[in-house]
Amino acid sequence: MDHSSLSLPLFLLVLVAVSAGAASGINQNRKLGKSRPRRDLLDNGLGRTPQMGWNNYNHFPGKLNEKLIGQTANAMVSTGLAALGYEYINLDDCWAELNRDSQGNLVPNATIFPSGMKALAGYIHSKGLKIGIYGDAGTLTCARTMPGSLGYEEQDANTFASWGIDYLKYDNCHNNGTSPQERYTKMSKALLATGRPIFFSLCEWGQAYPATWAGSVGNSWRTTGDIKDNWGSMISKADQNDAWASYAGPGGWNDPDMLEVGNGNMSTEDYRCHFSLWSLAKAPLILGCDIRSMDNDTFELVSNKEVIAVNQDELGIQGKKVKKTGDLEVWSGPLSGNRVAVVLMNRGLSTANVTAEWSDIGLNSSVIFDARDLWEHSTTTSVQNQLDATLDSHACKMYVLTPH
């Protein structure tokens, strides 16, 4: 939810084991995340890989109803996206009445959700999917259309569990200036106490540096403000998120906000960079377009199994920006099986050649790799010393390198 527009109504950290890795040529080089802070994990068994799903806010801000949610769940299955791992159907702000009932319970808006949340959850579960809901760690949500959970954490957590909710996105508006760590921890404990596994997504916007403390509180945490559907916003979120790469890992992920792919204000190449960087960075892949009517270009981007596999890799190490020469960048990170993911990107306005030498991405210069181009679905064998590509403005290439 956009906290900047309040007036609108709306690891277990895993290190790459490479003693044998000298044979594979993969060094635990600082550019690939050698130094990784120890952190406690939220003990709810969720988020072993980054979450995947859909949220209404980017395309339908404040425009929720049960028909939209049901149709989106249907489309998630019929398009095949559910089979690729997109499992959460998440509601954002504006789903509840402004006032609690006489017992202090949250009440779904009867006009837009006449069947109620328990029935809606049952329908989504019948599709083999999971349902997410939105709350706020203050007194009101960001759109001011429904109550926040401050002071009602246990009651609201029990309500969500009784409805069959699987995911909570928890915003940070109207918080009275109180400690976010304290407020988010209270809801985390309340969710755990329900006995229902509920993925906890902290939407604190990165203001109190949640990467440094949220590993034991939630399964993901926003590292940025809200994304917008334009290149400048998207790429700045990638840059901000990159600063916290060493804190991510199985059980808890850095979140540079939801995907704008398919919402129409960027080019296909812009969106390809967007999806590539989010996948490499092990960011949540939460679709924000209307999947009921997405075009072929959008579908081909968000359904790329090879790119998704990088995001969902079991090693769970966030890829990072490892080289920058003006507007030309190399991003890279280790994968399981002694493989390495690489993104070459041209952020500039004119065509240019981008090169990643093995030393840039933490590799032994003598090792030979097979390079799989994940967008072209082609493999170049016996690649030595470097990767390079001539890229148009705002274009990228994404590869997985496998020792030959």
Span 350-381, pLDDT tens digits: 999 999 999 999 999 999 999 999 999 999 99
Determine how many CB atoms are found less than 10 A away from the CB of residue 102: 6
Which DSSP category does 335 fall into? E
pLDDT of residue 8: 30
pLDDT bin (cut points 50, 70, 90) of residue 305 is very high
pLDDT bin (cut points 50, 70, 90) of residue 131 is very high
- CA angle, residues 188, 192, 198, in degrees to nearest 5: 85
Residue type for 61, please?
P
Q: What is the mean pLDDT of residues 256-269?
A: 98
pLDDT bin (cut points 50, 70, 90) of residue 12 is very low
Q: Which residue has the higher pLDDT, 68 or 32?
A: 68
pLDDT of residue 257: 98
Q: How much is the mean pLDDT over the chain? A: 92
Say what the pTM is. Answer: 0.91
Q: Which residue has the higher pLDDT, 84 or 29?
A: 84
Q: What is the mean pLDDT of residues 157-179?
A: 97
Q: Which two tokens stand for residue 96?
A: 């509840």
pLDDT bin (cut points 50, 70, 90) of residue 31 is very low
Residues contacting residue 151 through CB under 8 Å, at least 6 positions apart: 139
pLDDT of residue 27: 42
Residue 33 pLDDT greater than 80, yes or no: no
pLDDT bin (cut points 50, 70, 90) of residue 241 is very high
Task: Strand 220-222: give its sheet, edge to edge.
Answer: 253-255, 220-222, 199-202, 167-171, 130-136, 88-90, 52-55, 285-287
Q: What is the mean pLDDT of residues 372-392?
A: 97
Residue type for 36, please?
R
Q: What is the mean pLDDT of residues 325-336?
A: 98
Q: Which residue has the tokens 């202090």?
A: 104
Residue 292 pLDDT greater than 50, yes or no: yes
Q: What is the mean pLDDT of residues 345-351?
A: 97
Q: From CA 301, how far away is CA 132, in angstroms rounded?
A: 24
pLDDT of residue 172: 98
Q: What is the mean pLDDT of residues 309-338?
A: 98
pLDDT bin (cut points 50, 70, 90) of residue 24 is very low
pLDDT of residue 4: 40
Residue 19 pLDDT greater than 70, yes or no: no
- CA angle, residues 131, 134, 137, in degrees to nearest 5: 140
pLDDT of residue 29: 39
Is 254 in a helix, a strand, or coil?
A: strand
Is 168 in a helix, a strand, or coil?
A: strand
pLDDT of residue 40: 81
Question: What residues are labeled active site?
Answer: 171, 226
Q: How many helices (H) and strands (E) does the chain have?
A: 9, 16
Give 172-228 pLDDT, tens digit per residue. 999 999 999 999 999 999 999 999 999 999 999 999 999 999 999 999 999 999 999
Helix (H) or strand (E) holding 402: strand 396-403
Least confidently predicted of 26-30, 254-258, 345-349: 26-30
Buried b (16+ CB within 10 A) or exposed e, 207-223: ebbbbebbbebbbbbbb
Residue 10 pLDDT greater than 50, yes or no: no
